[in-house]
Amino acid sequence: MSGVITRVGVVGGGQMGAGIAEVCARAGLDTVVCEVDAVAAGAARDRVASSLQRAVRRGKLERTAAEDALARLVFTSGLDQLADRQLVVEAVAENPDAKTEIFAALDKIVEDPAAVLATNTSSLPVMRLGMATGHADRVVGLHFFNPVPVLPLVEVVTSLHTSPQAAAIVEEFATRTLGKTVIHSRDRAGFVVNALLIPYLLAAVRMAESGFATATDIDTGMELGCAHPMGPLRLADLIGLDTVASIAESLYDEFREPLYAPPPLLQRMVQAGLLGRKTGRGFHSYDQKGELGTTGA
């Protein structure tokens, strides 16, 4: 691969994938988003369009810039549409089998042998995904944070096989093209941010589970007592309780430390489909716009 990255692919058009696609399109890049079927691809387009409209309403983006960004996006259900991409970012759910299957397929589909295959995984080993390909040297972790258009941080995670060239390409892409700030992590569960964040969130879940304090009081305590912009249970709802549980399970599997074990209440809420803001109810309730309502647990 020569020159700067201009053609990007994103696999997965959910909350994270849509955000990654949006920032790429806003940066002027030719961006293709791949979903499982036409319905999901349409939903991904709607997700990006709604986010761009919010940015316009809030004065963060000119209307013409939003229209131009949406015009740079192609939504498809065929992985073969990513054949000419210089960088592909995988952003599907935290399911190791699904992710390894995608990387094995991308390794055969993406034509440029120097193209970089990146994963937005929150906690899974980059090495495992790299070894699903025949070119583990071009696989790297590129972990964005939600909401991607707002939060400025990206973690770059290199496995034992990741080449210095692949790491340099994604770092330049994140910093110069997208305007993000990069921190580096070794290939360990949770990387830097989630290895610190998840035990904090789980401690808040355990406190609510024990009846020691309500979800509202826990969040208010951390917001007003520690100057956090969002309390831990509201933050867990924003991330998605299923994602929090998946990251906790990955951390516990690797380190076997009790502080990483997902509490029973969290597991039951995931089983019940109470996943937080995206389902309208988690530790708090939310309206159709995602605005905070009453306490849910």
Q: Known catalytic residue: 254?
A: no
Active site residue 146: no
Decide if 284 is catalytic.
Answer: no
- Based on the residue annotation, tell me whether 161 is a catalytic residue of this protein: no
**Active-site entry in 35, 90, 94, 155:** 155
Q: Using CA atoms, how far apart are residues 193 and 122, in angstroms rounded to an integer?
A: 9
Among the listed residues 122, 123, 159, 250, the single catalytic one is 122
Annotated catalytic residue: which of 120, 159, 194, 250? Answer: 194
- Catalytic residue positions, numbered: 122, 143, 155, 194
